[in-house]
Structure 1
Amino acid sequence: MDKSVNIVGLGRHMKKNILPCLLELGVDIESITTRSKEKAQAEINYLGLTTYLYDDVDVMLRESKSDYVIIVVPMEEAYALVMKCLQANKKVFVEKPCGMSYTQAKNIYDCSIENSIPVFVGFMKRYAPCYQKMKEIIEQGNLGSVQSFDAHFNVDASAFCKTDKDFMYAVGIHFIDLLQHLFGEIKQVKILKNNAGQGTSYVLILRMNQGVVGTLSLENRAPWTRESEGITCTLDDGFIQSKELNEFVIHRNTDEENGWQTLSEMDTVYRENYTPASGTLKDVYLRGFMQELKQFFNDEIEVTNDNMKTTEIIENILEQLK
């Protein structure tokens, strides 16, 4: 890929997920900006990278030649950096959330419109193969219309999510965006919460703009250090299921009159392919990181208000949790 990029932030997510994708895609790392050039130098030496280091974003934006910036920083810091990049006419990829309030999200959208520059928010679940397959089946229409869904996302995010706001903006936002991507805009949301014991459980009851109804269960508790996620979607003539990012099931209704007398039920099951060649990159493909970065460097992407709409739902949820 004949692209170059400036990176802002060199934390764990950047090193474990984003950088491996960039290197696999052949993207040139023009520069890395961090708080400490000395620490960053030690990191890039360990990673075997050669690039220019900055400790001042403003200087980087003045001197950089690349049109692209990737921002992966603590979520409270992202807003100001995105605004600076837009004002410098840079195309921005930023890890979610892109703004810690509806006002901030709208300001970014307005600035993006004004400068005709899209901001790409790192909602990688849209690009995970299992959810891309789900969207494909829904849009094909061979199983009729979607009627309902049941989704869950269970994690232990206690190390970095101490409040409802932390969790919804760092974790819950992923599935809020994904469900709107799959089933349309959320028009109504009700939330239940249980914070007994250690951790918190949330259940959201949702109605989408086309009448589809569904539930989303979110867990932030110690048993879920092994993350678990999935969606079961019921349509007119069957159901589809994603299971743990590595399995997807399609079930079609049987039309045999006495199907119960035979083996008339059939599922089509897609699973990932295990081979020695999959190496260390398999995870970033199945989670959608590789595909989202390919899309970011596609110059045909347009300005959308998806992040603003998702942030508005998060604000609604947080208001109910007060």
Structure 2
Amino acid sequence: MGTSKLCFIGAGFHATTNIYPSALEAGAEIVAISTRNIDRTKAALQRFGSRGNAYDNYKTMLQNEDCDGVVVVAQPHDQTELVLDCIKAGKNVYVDKPLGWNALEAEQVANAAEQAGVVLMVGFMKRYAPVYMKLKELIDSRALGTARSFEASFAVDSTPFCKNDEEFIKLAAIHIVDLIRYLFGEVAQVTGFKNSNNEFISQSLSLKFDNGIVGSIYFSGMSAWSRESENIRVTFDDGFACADEINTLTVHKSLTSNHPSWRSLGESDSVYTPSASAMSGCFRDLYLRGFVGEMAHFMDCCRDKSTPVTSGRDNVNTMDLCDRILSALL
């Protein structure tokens, strides 16, 4: 497998902390970067050891550079226009979430990519996180029987960048919204309550899916949660599974027989967790959160001209569910 040549638009904190290192770890070559400031662009190239070209105008970069794909990590409200320009230039695109502020905008971009015949991938890294990939495998295999219900929670200090319920859902909680679609399918019904006050967010949701699965989600975006936390517990016919804090999956298999479970050692628990050492460094986090996996997937899709798991078209349903959740909150 050869190295993928990627261009980048944006070099902010999230991009330089998570996306650039993950792309390099996945085997990318940075051939060009564009930001609004040429000195910032040159600094980003130097930081990541690239001899690529520096730009302060992304349209010029799109015209000049021959690359396998463009990675867009910019301000949320700028990204739709940036992606449309990349598509017009015939470039494959990876873009950080959210793509479009609602389902209508997301559909317009998805249509444009399909008409142009380019790859369009949206950055929902949790689908590529090992703990959730393992949980998805467990659900699909029915190793514990049919999944019946779930409980999920996500809490984070989002007060610096989310000032109301809509911004919280579409800039922070959107990752969990997309993840439950990945795990359980499309949602048939949503109800919810909130106790929010401007940037202090507290939400409780109940959902029923097309396949009958039911679940509840607790969302919190407050300074109390300086220690970010997330977990999902799924109940099956013959056991349950708990995905905890991104790095641990506990699978409990219940005894299925005519005898009481307390008579024997018939039940079992399996715990899946990564190792850790000084040699793992920061890359452990990038792998476990799914950043490296999603960048590798994007490069594979560009090479094969295949549809990403988190495609622009799939993103339409995620944005639609975000809108439905906001409408349901009372």
**Does TM-score exceed 0.5, indicating one fold?**
yes
Q: 1:196-207, aligned counterparts within 5 Å?
A: 199-207=200-208
Look up the match of 2:77.
Answer: 76
Matched, 1:302 2:304: no
1:98 deviates by 0.6
Look up the match of 2:91.
Answer: 90
Q: 1:283-298, aligned counterparts within 5 Å?
A: 283-298=285-300
SS of 1:278 mapped into structure 2: coil
The worse-fitting range, judged by mean Cα deviation, of 206-215 and 45-54 is: 45-54
CA distance in 1, matches of 2:321, 2:25: 35
CA distance in 2, matches of 1:197, 1:57: 35
Matched, 1:316 2:309: no
Equivalent of 1:270 in 263, 269, 272: 272
1:253 deviates by 1.2
Look up the match of 1:260.
Answer: 262
SS of 2:230 mapped into structure 1: strand
Look up the match of 1:280.
Answer: 282
TM-score scaled to structure 1, two decimals?
A: 0.95
Gaps of 5+ in 1: none
| Matched pairs, number | 322
SS of 1:298 mapped into structure 2: helix
1:276 deviates by 2.6
The worse-fitting range, judged by mean Cα deviation, of 57-66 and 196-205 is: 196-205
CA distance in 1, matches of 2:223, 2:186: 31
Deviations 1:106-161 (A, max 9, x none): 10111122112231000000011100000111111121111001011110111111
SS of 2:275 mapped into structure 1: coil
CA distance in 2, matches of 1:204, 1:162: 20
Look up the match of 1:39.
Answer: 40
SS of 2:143 mapped into structure 1: coil
CA distance in 2, matches of 1:268, 1:90: 44
Look up the match of 2:137.
Answer: 136
Aligned-partner residue type, residue 152 of structure 1: S
CA distance in 2, matches of 1:48, 1:140: 43
SS of 1:10 mapped into structure 2: coil
CA distance in 2, matches of 1:3, 1:198: 40
Deviations 1:226-281 (A, max 9, x none): 11111000111111110101110111111351322444432111111012321220
Q: 1:1-322, aligned counterparts within 5 Å?
A: 1-195=2-196, 199-255=200-256, 257-299=259-301, 300=304, 301-302=306-307, 304=311, 305-321=313-329
CA contact (8 A) 1:154 1:220 kept: yes
1:81 deviates by 0.6
Deviations 1:72-99 (A, max 9, x none): 0010000001111111111100000011
Aligned-partner residue type, residue 283 of structure 1: D
CA distance in 2, matches of 1:99, 1:193: 24
CA distance in 1, matches of 2:223, 2:298: 34
CA distance in 2, matches of 1:27, 1:124: 17
Percent identical across equivalent pairs?
A: 35
